[in-house]
Structure 1
Amino acid sequence: MSPQTLFQVQLVLGYVACLLCFSVYFLPRLKSMERFDAQRVIATVHSFRFFGLVFLLPGVVGPNLPAGFAAFAAYGDFAVGILAMLALLTVRVRPLFWSLVVAFNLVGTVDILLDYYHAVKLGLPALAGQLGATYAIPILYVPVLMITHLLAFYWLVRPQREAAPVLIGNPTY
């Protein structure tokens, strides 16, 4: 199997595995929370996106990783991470918090979509080995980020309902 095919298969399976894991373990817990608390959890996950700067570190990624992909992905992730951290720092100022939640989700979603566009345009799937130690980012971490962005948008536009109760232990009927 070619490196390009392996990368594409792993990318698709990364989304499938993340969706399965998310729907069984994380979504029920997030649904049990108030919208504000659930958005704080999502912001916390995205606050680690500063890690994308690793795409710029020689020795961590290969020398032939397309620079057009690496720089854009790194700085886009960095911007989203900062916006998510700012959202978390402004939880006591609700209008500012909600504005930053919208901002980091918009910027984050656009960043991921443009990263996919640049990756395809620059032939990254055929050069996936150049990702080096960062290979797990697009295969495992990006699917989690995209899923949480979509969920955050869904909860932003959906009317507020009461949080669903969480069952702890085995329910008795």
Structure 2
Amino acid sequence: MSTELIFQTHLVLGYITWLLCFGAYILPWLKSMDRVKAHRAIATLHSFRFFGLVFILPGVVGPNLPASFATFAAFGDLAAGLLAMLALVTIRIRPIFWLFVVAFNLVGTGDLALDYYHAIQAGLPARAAELSAAYAIPIIYVPLLMITHVFAFYLLMRPLVKAARAGTDHIWRPSNLRT
């Protein structure tokens, strides 16, 4: 089996496993919370993204890890992690908290999407051994990050849908007539 096929298999199985785990354990837990607490839990997970700097740490990754992937991934993760930390620090100042929640989710999702693009462009799946000790990051950690970003966007959009529906309550309908 080729390195590329093993890497791709690991990546797909990482997503499948996290989706199963998320659906069975994490989703019910997050849904039982109010929106602020759920976003706080997600931000806490993402605050560890500073760990992505390992992609540019000599001796941890192989010397031939494509710089076009490694540098962008490292600093994109750092930016998303710092924004998540800022969300946690500003939780008592709700407008700023929500600004940082949106920011870390946009930056974090963009970072992961661009990391996938850069990895494909650099042929990383075929050179996955260059990830060395950092191999587990895209296989185990990244799928959970992407899944929680998607759920965070769902939570952010959900109140807008409810508010839009609530805004139509004043519209006259035959069912609004009282006899």
Shift of 1:159: 2.2
Runs of 5+ consecutive residues of structure 2 not aligned to the other structure = 163-179
2: distance between equivalents of 1:43 and 1:57?
25
Determine whether 1:9 maps to 2:18: no
Taking structure 1 as the reference length, the TM-score comes to 0.92
Paired residues for 1:19-30 under 5 Å: 19-30=19-30
1: distance between equivalents of 2:63 and 2:145?
26
- After superposition, the CA RMSD in angstroms is 0.9
Deviations 1:111-170 (A, max 9, x none): 000000000000000000000000000001000000000000000001288xxxxxxxxx
Match of 1:116 in 2: 116
Match of 1:53 in 2: 53
Report the structure number with the largest CA radius of gyration: 2
2: distance between equivalents of 1:83 and 1:159?
22
Between the aligned residues of both structures, percent identity stands at 68
Deviations 1:73-125 (A, max 9, x none): 00000000000000000001000000000000000000000000000000000
| Partner SS, residue 65 of structure 1 | coil
**Stretches (4+) displaced over 6 A:** none
Amino acid corresponding to residue 65 of structure 1 in structure 2: L
Q: Identify which of structures 1 and 2 has the higher relative contact order when contacts are C-alpha pairs closer than 8 Å and 6+ apart.
A: 1
Paired residues for 1:1-173 under 5 Å: 1-159=1-159
Runs of 5+ consecutive residues of structure 1 not aligned to the other structure = 162-173
Q: Which structure dedicates a bigger proportion of its chain to helix? A: 2
Taking structure 2 as the reference length, the TM-score comes to 0.89
Amino acid corresponding to residue 130 of structure 1 in structure 2: E
Q: How many aligned positions are there?
A: 161
